[in-house]
Amino acid sequence: MVRHETVGGHLVASVSTSIFVAGSIAAAIGIGLPRLLARRGMDPAYGSGPVATVIQDILTIVVYFAVLHAFGI
């Protein structure tokens, strides 16, 4: 087992925080984007496919770097 101090507490905390935040945002997009498209009269299937995946991937990278910056890494 790897000790917390040997890996670097800030790095472990920042990666786990960014995974949690990115997963939460991805879930919100996966639910919200098809609903938004349905409200506008568009086919909600567009929001649950590649469009949602691209948005989630971009936001995951942005969240990761924002959390690293917030932790000072």
Domain residue ranges in the chain? 4-67
pLDDT at 8 over 70: yes
Q: What is the pLDDT of residue 44?
A: 86
Kindly indicate the confidence band of residue 5, based on its pLDDT and cuts at 50, 70 and 90: low
- Rounded CA separation 61/22 (Å): 8
Q: 47 burial class (0-12, 13-18, 19+ CB within 10 angstroms)? A: buried
pLDDT at 20 over 80: yes
- Rounded CA separation 15/33 (Å): 26
